[in-house]
A and B are shown apart, each in its own frame.
Chain A
Amino acid sequence: MGLSPGTSVLIVEDVQAIRFHLRTMLQEMGFSRVQTAASVEEAQLVLTVEAVDLILCDWYLNASSGLDLLRELRKSRERDSTAFVLLTAENAKEKVVEALKAGVDDYLLKPLSAAALGNKLAGAIAKRKVP
């Protein structure tokens, strides 16, 4: 399955204005199952309640890191199929390589367009082969 309106997405972003902006973008793209979290801790709470198909996550989240969430996700057998896309302004090559090694499915630089976001999410979902 690629991207469909039924695909569940969790946005993890500490900047409230960007979080709302992303949610609006996804809803305008037809997604009805969009949740948001402002921190790794909030994201973990969401994930204990329900599994999501895809996580769209910022790198720097106050004192925590999106990569910490990714590493924890990949340790869990139940959640290992969740696609993980990093959305960040971090573009130092050494840091990008670090994220790729950690296992992100895709890496998207801010600022982003709706078209770029749609393509990235579809690609990441297809890669993880969500049924």
Chain B
Amino acid sequence: MSPRNEARIREFVGELATFAVGAESMLSEAEQFPGGRKALLERFAGMMITIRGTAVHLGFENVSRIATIGEEIAIKGADLDSNSKLRKCIGSLWDVVTTVKYLIEHHDQETGEEQEILEHRLESTLGSLGGARTRVGQDEIEALLRSRS
């Protein structure tokens, strides 16, 4: 890898870590201020998309997968009325942030068994909240664009 590419990757990783810290702050705020929780969880979901967008540029598939689950759980959490479900949701989002931070810091290592177990647990939580929304790829987007015109 050229020094230029290495420097670019370091820059990306540094920024990715900053976003993870930002997501952590949002979650703390959502816990402390229930009134603004919906908006904060929606912003948290947006932050997860930003993290995912940066992670896919770097080829960090493990970060991308966890951020995707975090995004979906946050979207579900934003519309929850039940306090017990909300607590479970926020607890899961803490796991998401902690794992994302860990994976970014150790991006040169293979994903461990612990992360895989956590990923399954998060998927199970998401399933209990109603599951993920339908996602589309670039080809389906092209079809949607054509059907619009």
Contacts and interface: CB of A to CB of B under 8 A. Distances in A.
Contacts of A21: 8, 57
Interface residues of B, number: 27
Interface in A81-131: 88-94, 96-97, 100, 106-111, 116
A49 interface: no
Interface of A: 14-18, 20-21, 58-60, 63, 88-94, 96-97, 100, 106-111, 116
A14 B57 CA distance: 15
A111 B52 CA distance: 10
A108 B145 CA distance: 11
B144 A14 contact: no
Contact of A100 (B53, B135, B148): B148
A90 to B, nearest CB: 5
B52 A89 contact: yes
Contact of B145 (A16, A59, A60, A100): A100
B57 A91 contact: no
A18 B135 contact: no
B48 to A, nearest CB: 9
A88 B71 CA distance: 14
B112 to A, nearest CB: 25
